[in-house]
Structure formats: C-alpha cells, structure tokens
Chains A and B, each alone.
Chain A
Amino acid sequence: MLKEHDLGGIRKKKKKRVVAKQLWKYVAKHKKVFILAVILTCISNILALICPMVSGFAIDAIGTKVGEVKFVKVFIYVGMMIVFYVLSAIISYILSVLMINTSQKIVKQMRHDVMDTFFELSVEYFDQHAIGDIISRISYDIDTINTSFSHDVVQLLASVMTIIGALIMMICLSPMLVLVFVVMLPISIYVTGYLTKKARPFFSKRSICLANLNGYVEEMLSGHKTICAYEQEERIMGEFDDKNLEAVNAYYESEYHGSLTGPSVTLINNISLALISAFGAIMFLYGKMSIGQISSFVLYSRKFSGPINEAANIFTELQSSLSAAERVFSFMNEPREWKDLEDAREISSCEGLLEGKDINFGYQENKLILKDISFKANPGNMIAVVGPTGSGKSTLINLIMQFYPIKSGDIILDEKVYSNIKKASLRRQFAMVLQETWLFSGTIYENLVYGREDATLEEVIEATKAAHIHDTIEKLPNGYDTVLTDEGVSLSAGQKQLMTIARAMLLPAQMLILDEATSNVDTRTEKMIQQAMAKLMKGKTCFVIAHRLSTIRNADTILVIRDGSVVERGNHDTLLRKHGVYAGIYQAQFE
C-alpha cells in the first residue's frame, strides 16, 4: 500500500510531466533554433576552452630562460588566442540575441494564448477568481519563464559544457593532477548542494515574511484616516515593529545562509589551486610536466569553480519557472464557456417577445438561488424586478444574458428556445446599462462606438444629445477625441452613467437590460439620467432591476422576488391594493 505522501509525490511527478509536455509544445516550434543554440554554445565554449591550452603553448614557447623565446611560435599562439576569443565573444553575443528573440516569441505566444483563454472563459470564472491572480500569471509567471528561456537554459548548458570540457582538457594535460579534483570536485558539489538546500527554507520564509509585512502596511495605510480618528498610531506602530523585525530577521538569515555558498566554494577552489601548484611543481621537478602545462591546468581549474555554483543556482531557478509554467498552463486549461449546440442558429434581429418558464438555478449544486421563476414580456413591455439584495435579481439577468447556462427550465425569445440560438448573436439582441459603469482607457468616441463601430459621427452625436452628455463632451479639452485615463481626464460617476446610456442608444438592440444605479449623484444629474433612461427604453422590451419608484410605477409587470422565488406579481396599482410585501416596501420609506 502506498503512503499518502508517496501518492502525493507520484501525482506531483505526473503533473510535472504534463507541464513539461505542454511546455514542449511551445519549444517544439523553435526546435531548429534550439538545436542551433546548442551548436553555437558548443562552439563558443570549445573556443573558450581551447584558449588556456593555447596560452600554455605560448608560455612554453616563451620558456624560462632569457634570450630563448621562440617568437614565431609565441606570435602564432597569441594570434590564435585573440582570434578564438574574438570568435567566442561574437558567437556568445549572437547566441544571447538568438535566445532573447526565441524566448520573446515563446512568451508572446504564451501571453496570446492566456488572453485567448481569458476571453473564452465563462463569466462564472471571473465571478469566482480575483483579478490579482490572473495578472500575476500573465505578468510575473510568464516573466519567470522568459528569464529561463533567454538566459538560464543557455547558461546551464554552458556551465555543464565548461565543467566537462575543462575536465577533459585537464585530463589531457595531466591525468595525475586531475586526481586533486577527484577529491575536491565531489566535496565542492556536496558543499554547494548542502548549502543551497539549507538556505532554501530561509528564502521561502523571507518571501512569506515580506509578503506579510507588505500586506500589513497596505491594509493599515488604507485605514489611515480611521487610525488617526481613534488615535491608534502607537498600537499600530507596535504591531508593525514586530512584523518588521520578523521580516528583516528572515532577510538576514536568508542572506547570511545564501552568502555562505560563494566563499565556501571559493575556498575549496583555492585549496585545489594550492594542491595543484604544489603537486604541479613537484611534477615539474620530476620532469613530468612543463610550466606551460601547469599554467593551462591552473587556468582550467579556475574555470571550474564558477559553473558549479552557477549550475546549482540555475537549477533552482528552473524549478521555480517550471512551477510558474504550471500556473500559466492551469489557467489555459480552465474549462471554456459552454459550447453552442450544433444546430443552434444565428439570429440577426428579433421582435422582442421574451418568456421565462420554470427557471431553477443555483451556482452550486445544492443551493438554489432561483426557484420556479416564470415571466412573459411582450414586445415593448417593461418588467421590473424588485427585491432585497441577495434575492436573485442579478442572477436572473445572468441567465437572460446567457452569462450562465440555464440548468432547468427555459427562456424563449420569439418562440425560439435559448439553447437553439447561438450565444453571441443572442447577446447582441440586448443593450445593457449596468450599475457599475464600464469605460475603458481610450477616446470618448471609441468608448461610445464600442458596440457599433460603423456608427457615423451624426449618429453618435444624436445619441449623446439624447443622453444629455453631448455638451459635457464638447467642453473637454479634445472633445470626442479626449482620452480617458486613470491619471488624466476622468468623468464623474453620473457622467459615466450617461456615457453608457449613450453607448446603449447606439446599439440596434430590440431589448434592454437595466440595472438601475442607487444613485450617488446630485439632483440635476439624477434628473438627466432619468430622462435619458426613459428615451432609451422607448419601444424596447425592458428588463429592469428597479430602485426608483418612478420606474416601477410605469412597469407593465412587477416581479417581487424574495429568496429566489416570485412572491408577488402584477402592476403597481394591483400590488398596492394587495397590501402584501410590495405594499410594505413601498410604505417603509414614509415611516
């Protein structure tokens, strides 16, 4: 029987394999480039590795005695060295550029795929996931992968090659002296491994503590005013000091442990150097080695030290980028918005007859939000939905707009069942004005024609005039071409609402969905919004989540919803006469 953590391990391994497979898809497109990169790395490193050998030849050609320098040879060898070094530098530069280009291509494709996924996900996903999470995947995680491809892969390859190459060269020079490394190399690898492994938990503790501190600072500063109002500065300071101390201590420990590796590896290398010098000298005395060979050997042994340390670092970085890739892919693998049925039809326009039949719906399996909801709106009718927050009003809109799939019951448009209509074409039949106004950074004009790019300027102005926003726009520095940004020009809440109304007016839609704002605007703007809304609603089948009495009074049907069920329905007058829930709500404001 497998123990639980063994099972976890197996699952992890399997997961890693899946991630690697998906990663390979991106890499495979650039297979040739990667092969070229490997070849270039080889050439560049071989050139760099030959040089110490050549320099050894040069030193031998110089010899130890005055007046016996073989100049021709020295010139040839030095010339070779320079040529090799120049070539090696050029190749390694080309290699870097090549890898940067390739990794940028990969990263671009990844971002593209993430955003492709983004727009294919259902609204449900966005309702359940925080934006910060998605952003960290598309920026931070992909960035980590980028570094790996553009830098780490080549570096790791180069390190491994340098280690192997230097070892081969040293064996060629003197198999006896290499014995020093037979002892020292395992020690070096062990020490590096041991120290990095020991330091790792300190590093993760450090990021946790820092994240804690940052979170605390952000939280407390957001309450700056309240803290001042209750004179809590000192208490907060005390709490902060604790968190700060924890963070700097964690930083200290990680730094201390991390900075052990460098000197330790250097120490081992220096000891190797000492041993090589001593044994080399002895071998020279016995005539087994020339000075030039010792010199080359020393240079090779120096080349040895860096890569071992570096390879260890890169290995940890590769691990973190693998887990970054896992996060990116898990986003890409999220289930998409459900597909239209195969025989679903495209519709280009509609009459506006909307009917709901016995709708039951819950976001979770066992918790119904809407129970047995039915309604019917004739073309040009207005249905108002009234009820407390959490009663299911927005859920109803989610279904009508097909943001969520209907699970039981039906909605029927012009006698066509929803499931027989293609989602995109269905949604286009509706204009929507929501409580949370959404404008993007772009010009006012771009925002207005967002739903209908072919609208002429005359049409746009007609709409903005009807929405009482034309004059405001004209007064802006660049009129309709004014760019809305976070820092620059921004509109007030009321003006934004008018903008979205104007945008909705431009749409050819026959039906309207309105989530009325519980307005936070001044009386004048409020009046303008009401007037604009009235114009917008004219002649359309309207579905309104109502907060205003004036809206509700004019509604053809009022649905009073409570806990997901329709408790009352009828128009204003009949409902008032009933003296039921609706009448209660209506009276409450005069109490």
Chain B
Amino acid sequence: MDKVLEYVKRYRKDVIWGICMKFGGTLLELGIPWVLSYIIDRVIPMKKISLVFIWGLVMILFSVGAALGNICANRVASKSSMQITRDLRHDLFNKILHLSKHQVDTITLPSLVSRMTTDTYNIHHAVGMLQRMGVRTPVIVLGSFFVMFSLDKIMTLVLLLIIPINILFVYYITSHGIPLFQKQQKNVDNMVRTVREDYTGIRVIKALSKEKYEKKHFEVINEQLVKSEKKASVYMAITNPLMNLMFNVGMAVVILIGAFRLNRGGTTIGCIMAFNSYFMTLLAAMMGITRIFVMTSKALASSSRVKEILELPEELVIASKEQYPVDKSFFQDSYAIKFNHVTFRYHGEHTPSLSDISFQLKKGESLGIIGATGSGKSTLVNLLLRFYDTSEGEIYINGENIKTISGQKMREKMGVVFQSDFVCSGTLRENIAFGRKCEEENLKLAILTAQANELVELDVDGLEKRIYARGNNLSGGQKQRLLLSRALAAVPEILILDDSSSALDYKTDARFRKCLQKNYPMITQIMIAQRISSIMDMDHILVLEGGRIESFGTHEELMQKCKVYRELYELQTGGDIDVKGA
C-alpha cells in the first residue's frame, strides 16, 4: 500500500479534512443513545415535559449533525479517492506506454491490461471505502467503548471480551476464506477455458460426433466448480450468524450483570438501555469489518502489482554522443544502415536469437530477409527499431549509433509495418496519419503506392470511413494496404516491412513494389518475407537460419551458392501457390 500512500499524500488536506468530518459525524451519532439514557435516568425523574422536549430536540440536532457530517465526509472521500485513482492510473498508463519491449514481454500484455483495469479499480474502491467505513468503524467501536466505560465500567467488560474475539474471528474467517475463493476462481477459469476450447473446436467435435463426450467432460468441470463454490460460500456463511450471536448474547449478559449492579445501586436502568442500544450499533458496525478486511486484502494485492510496474527501471536510455561517437566514414559511403557483429539474446535465454550479424545498406537500397520461423527475422527488425538493445555489437543509422539517437528523431526516419499489426478504431484517415501531421499530398501518394486507393474510393465516406477496433470490418488484404499507407504517409527514410505483403495477392504485391520504386526512389527498404517472389528483385537478400546469416547476396548469387535458398525456392515454386485474391 506504500505506493498508494504516496498518492494519498498528494491529497493529504482533503483526506484529513474528510476524516475529521467523519470523526465528528460519528461522534454525534454515538451521542444519541447517550442522550436517550440521560432522558430516562435524569429528565424523567424531574417530571418536566418541557425538558423532555428540549432533550428530544438535542437528539434531533445530533442526528442532523451526524447526517451532515457523514454526507460531507463521504463526498470529500469520494472526491479524493477519485483524484488519487486518476493520478495513479495516469502514471501507470504512462509508465506502461514507455516500457521497453523486453519488459512488456516479461510481464505480458494481458497482465498489464489487468493491472490497468482490475487492479486500479480495486484500489479506487478500497481507498474510498477505507475513508468512509475505515474511519467510522473504529470510531464507533472506540467511541461506544468510551461512552460505555464512562456509563458503567463493569458492564463494559462484556464488550471488552466480545470485541477481541470478534476481530480474531473475522481475521480467521477471511484469511481462510480468501484461499477458498482463489480456488473457486481457478475453477471458474478452468470452466471458461473449456467453453472456449469447445467453441474453437466445434467443427472437430461435430465431425467426430464427440458431443456426448464433451458434455460429460463439462459435467466433471461443472461439478468441481460447484464443489469449490459451495465450500467457500458455506465457509463464509458462518460469519453473520456467529457475530449476531455474540453481540446478542453479550446484550443478555449485560442485562444480567446490570440487574445485579442496579440492585446494589451501582447502575441505572437508563444505562442498561443505552448499553443495549450501543450493542446494536456495534453489531452493525462490526458486520462492515468483514467487508473492509476482504476489500483491503484485495487492494493490497492490487497495489503491490501496480507498484511492481511503477518501479520498473527505465530501459533503453539515450546514450551520449561521447560514449558512442559518430563514425564519419559512413557519410562518405552513404551507408544508411549498418549492423556490426550484432548478437542478441532474449532475456534469460541461453542461446542467442541472433548471433554475429553484420551487413550494411546504402541509402536507397533494398534488403530482403528470408528464413524459417524462429530464425530471427523479426528480432532483427526489433533491434533496428531499438525495441531491445543488442547484447553484443552495435547498430548504426547514418553513422550514428542508435543508442545515441533520441526516440523521436529515430522514429521520424522510419515507416514500419509489423506482422499482424495494429489497426485501431477511428477513421481511415486517423489510422493512416496515426497522429502525425501528414501533408495531404503525402497522404495521397502513400495511399496510391500502397494500392489502397480503391479502399478509399470504394467507400462513400472516403478517408472518413469508420474502422472498427482491430480493423474488424476490413479484410486481411485491406488491412495490409492501410498499414502500408501508414508506413509511407510521413515519407520515411527507411521502410521496414515485416511479412507485410503476405495477405496481398501476387499481382497486387508486384504492383506495390513497382510503385514504391517509382514514388519513393530514395527510400531504404528492409522487407521480411515468406515468399521468395516478394524479395527476389531486391538489391540484397539475407538468408537467416538459426539466428545466423546463412548467406547474403542477390537472388542469382544465392541460387548459386546457397542450398537452403535454392531448396526453399524449389519448394515454393513446386509446392506453394497462393491464390488469394487472384
């Protein structure tokens, strides 16, 4: 909770102010039974009706004061908890956006999403509730204790016995109950997974007539879930009856003790009645404690998960030019990109994903990369974009070590399309410009080059066509064209395409490559491809196998000297014909 406390401190004034009001309101509330006992013990014997009315009025004033205090305090509490959550979420999201790719990999996206959503929600809930009930309950417990103590010390002993037992009991129940709920949650996850599997495999299940089998299988899972749910619920169900019992029996005991004490003149009847009333108030307050315990333990777990992210070290810092001086020789050769003995291991892995990669590209040249899955193609691109830092060796763009280039300056140079890239909800224009200030003609040229003009023209809304989340209203080919347009829209110096044309048919793919050469002659291009036909015209082709450069050269050279390449070529032309959209 310490991380959350930092945020609470920012709104210290509000929080303290709220707590004070809550405190005052609760004290007034506690005063009401006291007034009742005063009326019965002191006012009635005086037999003055006017006094009865006055004290009745005092009670009403107390009630109004208590209500106002509580309402105001609740409002302040809601406000401060809202501000705290807003700040916390802002910082968390900001942090997540600036995490390095490696950090995202280790924590995983779903986990980040759940920290952003469920965890901040839990914290919000708890911060508000703790301010409202977390103050009220102790004040009521302590306050009634003091009032009762001042009324009658001996009878208070009953309370002194009940409260610790109660707190221990609540603690015991919740600490044993929470694991049961966790187990239940696991079984729920299991059920959901089964349903998901049955959904994706419905064709296979039907084809093999395995419906009965699957029904039986689900029955087992259902049974497990029901069992664990029952166990957890039955376990928690003891709480309320037992608490009720303790306080009610306590009340009876108070009456009994009161009888003895009154008989000896030690107490008054009004006092006994006030005790009864306080016991009722306390019971109601204690019921809330269970909830507070559960909420707080949830929020504590959440806050440590959030803290974990917020305290991640900043990776991929921009290094100074002194540390990695600019290599002037590059300018003369006008090498746009150079890899110098680059080796890379993903975090915690022993075998490198890329080892000893060296190559260089001049401005305006094109490079095709081909290789099996897992050969390190995408990793190479990730390194060039500095999503990761190299383990050994350096990468240079225009002679500058990429560790010294500021993020903005570097990304300005690049246009990228990733494998299964991101299309967000918004208009076509928003998706292509993607927050950058692109001039209209650049936008048009990009669209034309990416063969996306028919996508724009086909729709009545043109560029303002609405795109659904994940591009769900676009076909694979259309998405691909949109992404290519995006990559070109800011007139990049370097274009990186990670298997981006696989959803385009042969003809469109060929047309795109021709247009690209014509409209962006100075662009340096790196393209990862599955199909040899996409890259066979490139200036250089790099064949990766097991993270190493198997061969480097032009198509003709590779056909001569590289066995893997030749095999692949034969397999593809003799084997693979892709007829999408043909």
Q: Are A278 and B575 in contact (CB under 8 A)?
A: no
Q: Are A229 and B411 in contact (CB under 8 A)?
A: yes
Q: Are A71 and B47 in contact (CB under 8 A)?
A: no
Q: Which residues of A are found within 8 Å of B188, using beta-carbon distances?
A: 139
A183 at the interface (CB under 8 A from B): no
15 CB < 8 A contacts A-B:
A78-B259, A100-B233, A104-B233, A107-B229, A111-B225, A118-B198, A219-B424, A220-B97, A248-B86, A270-B60, A273-B59, A274-B63, A450-B210, A492-B374, A585-B582
Give which listed residue, B416, B506, B572, contacts A226 with CB less than 8 A. Answer: B416
Q: Are B269 and A64 in contact (CB under 8 A)?
A: yes
Give which listed residue, A66, A232, A278, contacts B53 with CB less than 8 A. Answer: A278
B248 at the interface (CB under 8 A from A): yes
Contact with B along A66-103 (1 / 0, CB 8 A): 11110100110110011001101110110011001100
One of A15-23, A32-40, A356-364, A543-551 at the interface: A543-551
The CA-CA distance from A518 to B530 in the complex, in Å, is: 10
Q: Are A59 and B255 in contact (CB under 8 A)?
A: yes
A531 at the interface (CB under 8 A from B): no
Shortest CB distance B8–A (Å) = 15
A-B contact number at CB 8 A: 440
The CA-CA distance from A278 to B48 in the complex, in Å, is: 11
Shortest CB distance B163–A (Å) = 18
Question: From residue 547 to 591 of chain A, which have CB atoms closer than 8 A to chain B?
Answer: 547-550, 552, 584-586, 588-591
The CA-CA distance from A252 to B407 in the complex, in Å, is: 38
Give which listed residue, A112, A228, A530, contacts B222 with CB less than 8 A. Answer: A112
A51 at the interface (CB under 8 A from B): yes
Question: From residue 199 to 227 of chain A, which have CB atoms closer than 8 A to chain B?
Answer: 210, 213-215, 217-227
Q: Which residues of A are found within 8 Å of B387, using beta-carbon distances?
A: 225, 228
Contact with A along B74-99 (1 / 0, CB 8 A): 11001101110110011001101111
A244 at the interface (CB under 8 A from B): yes
Q: Are A244 and B90 in contact (CB under 8 A)?
A: yes
In the complex, which residue of chain B has the Cβ closest to the Cβ of A291?
B269
Q: Which residues of A are found within 8 Å of B40, using beta-carbon distances?
A: 277, 281, 291, 294
A131 at the interface (CB under 8 A from B): yes
Q: Which residues of B are found within 8 Å of A344, using beta-carbon distances?
A: none
A182 at the interface (CB under 8 A from B): no
Q: Which residues of B are found within 8 Å of A588, using beta-carbon distances?
A: 505-507, 582
Tally B residues with Cβ within 8 Å of A. Answer: 161
Contact with A along B205-244 (1 / 0, CB 8 A): 1111111001100110011011001100110011011101
Give which listed residue, B85, B99, B373, B582, contacts A521 with CB less than 8 A. Answer: B373
Q: Are B259 and A55 in contact (CB under 8 A)?
A: no
Q: Are A101 and B230 in contact (CB under 8 A)?
A: yes
A249 at the interface (CB under 8 A from B): yes
Shortest CB distance B62–A (Å) = 7
Q: Which residues of A are found within 8 Å of B198, using beta-carbon distances?
A: 115, 118-119
The CA-CA distance from A107 to B219 in the complex, in Å, is: 12
Instruction: Given A74-B256, A96-B237, A126-B202, check contact A547 B576 (CB 8 Å).
Output: yes
Shortest CB distance B59–A (Å) = 3
Q: Considering residues A63, A89, A271, which has the most beta carbons from chain B within 10 angstroms of its beta carbon? A: A89
Instruction: Given A118-B198, A521-B373, check contact A273 B407 (CB 8 Å).
Output: no
Instruction: Given A69-B259, A520-B373, check contact A274 B60 (CB 8 Å).
Output: yes
Shortest CB distance B220–A (Å) = 11
Q: Which residues of B are found within 8 Å of A590, using beta-carbon distances?
A: 573
Q: Which residues of A are found within 8 Å of B32, using beta-carbon distances?
A: 270, 273-274
Q: Are A123 and B109 in contact (CB under 8 A)?
A: no
Shortest CB distance A229–B (Å) = 5
Contact with A along B355-392 (1 / 0, CB 8 A): 00000000000000000111100000000010100000
Instruction: Given A278-B52, A523-B571, check contact A284 B408 (CB 8 Å).
Output: no
Q: Are B74 and A225 in contact (CB under 8 A)?
A: no
A295 at the interface (CB under 8 A from B): yes
Contact with A along B413-443 (1 / 0, CB 8 A): 0101010011011000000001110000000
Q: Which residues of A are found within 8 Å of B465, using beta-carbon distances?
A: none
The CA-CA distance from A212 to B188 in the complex, in Å, is: 25
The CA-CA distance from A49 to B60 in the complex, in Å, is: 27
Instruction: Given A549-B576, A552-B577, A590-B573, check contact A438 B204 (CB 8 Å).
Output: yes
Contact with A along B31-73 (1 / 0, CB 8 A): 0100110011001100101001101110110111011001100
The CA-CA distance from A519 to B576 in the complex, in Å, is: 9
In the complex, which residue of chain A has the Cβ closest to the Cβ of B375?
A522
In the complex, which residue of chain B has the Cβ closest to the Cβ of A257?
B78
In the complex, which residue of chain A has the Cβ closest to the Cβ of B532?
A589
Task: For the A-B complex with A115-B195, A229-B418, A522-B374 known, give 13 more contacts whose Cβ atoms are closer than 8 Å.
Answer: A55-B252, A85-B249, A88-B244, A223-B424, A225-B101, A232-B435, A244-B86, A256-B78, A263-B71, A298-B277, A427-B206, A486-B193, A522-B373
The CA-CA distance from A267 to B69 in the complex, in Å, is: 11
Question: From residue 222 to 266 of chain A, which have CB atoms closer than 8 A to chain B?
Answer: 222-233, 235-237, 240-241, 244-245, 248-249, 251-252, 255-256, 259-260, 262-264, 266
Instruction: Given A427-B206, A550-B575, check contact A221 B199 (CB 8 Å).
Output: no
Q: Are A221 and B372 in contact (CB under 8 A)?
A: no
B318 at the interface (CB under 8 A from A): no
Question: From residue 282 to 299 of chain A, which have CB atoms closer than 8 A to chain B?
Answer: 282, 284-285, 291, 294-295, 298-299
Q: Are A217 and B576 in contact (CB under 8 A)?
A: no
Q: Which residues of A are found within 8 Å of B262, using beta-carbon distances?
A: 62-63, 66, 69
Q: Are B510 and A78 in contact (CB under 8 A)?
A: no
Shortest CB distance A566–B (Å) = 15
Q: Which residues of A are found within 8 Å of B44, using beta-carbon distances?
A: 281, 284-285
Give which listed residue, A120, A233, A589, contacts B98 with CB less than 8 A. Answer: A233
A138 at the interface (CB under 8 A from B): yes
Q: Are A230 and B435 in contact (CB under 8 A)?
A: yes
Q: Are B215 and A434 in contact (CB under 8 A)?
A: no
Q: Which residues of A are found within 8 Å of B346, using beta-carbon distances?
A: none
Q: Are A85 and B268 in contact (CB under 8 A)?
A: no
Q: Are B60 and A271 in contact (CB under 8 A)?
A: yes
The CA-CA distance from A217 to B193 in the complex, in Å, is: 23
Give which listed residue, B79, B234, B505, contacts A388 with CB less than 8 A. Answer: B505
Q: Which residues of B are found within 8 Å of A170, using beta-carbon distances?
A: none
Contact with A along B97-136 (1 / 0, CB 8 A): 1110100100001001100110001001000100010000
Q: Which residues of A are found within 8 Å of B219, using beta-carbon distances?
A: 112
Q: Are B263 and A134 in contact (CB under 8 A)?
A: no
B164 at the interface (CB under 8 A from A): no
The CA-CA distance from A16 to B387 in the complex, in Å, is: 55
> Which 9 pairs, one residue from A and one from B, show the smallest C-beta to C-beta distance?
A522-B372, A223-B422, A278-B56, A270-B63, A274-B59, A267-B67, A96-B237, A89-B245, A263-B70
Q: Which residues of A are found within 8 Å of B19, using beta-carbon distances?
A: none
Q: Which residues of A are found within 8 Å of B576, using beta-carbon distances?
A: 518-519, 547-549
The CA-CA distance from A64 to B37 in the complex, in Å, is: 13
Give which listed residue, B49, B124, B209, B211, contacts A248 with CB less than 8 A. Answer: B124
Give which listed residue, B57, B82, B564, contacts A249 with CB less than 8 A. Answer: B82
Q: Are A306 and B284 in contact (CB under 8 A)?
A: yes
Give which listed residue, B59, B214, B276, B580, contacts A277 with CB less than 8 A. Answer: B59
Q: Are B273 and A298 in contact (CB under 8 A)?
A: yes
Q: Considering residues A221, A233, A548, which has the most beta carbons from chain B within 10 angstroms of its beta carbon? A: A221
The CA-CA distance from A240 to B90 in the complex, in Å, is: 8
B350 at the interface (CB under 8 A from A): no
Q: Are B408 and A252 in contact (CB under 8 A)?
A: no
Give which listed residue, B47, B240, B374, B578, contacts A547 with CB less than 8 A. Answer: B578
Q: Considering residues B99, B128, B230, which has the most beta carbons from chain A within 10 angstroms of its beta carbon? A: B230
The CA-CA distance from A222 to B374 in the complex, in Å, is: 22
The CA-CA distance from A210 to B372 in the complex, in Å, is: 43
Q: Are A245 and B86 in contact (CB under 8 A)?
A: yes
Q: Which residues of B are found within 8 Å of A224, using beta-carbon distances?
A: 96-97, 99, 101, 104, 109
Shortest CB distance A434–B (Å) = 7
Q: Are A264 and B208 in contact (CB under 8 A)?
A: no
Contact with B along A42-70 (1 / 0, CB 8 A): 00000000010001001101111011110
The CA-CA distance from A213 to B85 in the complex, in Å, is: 13
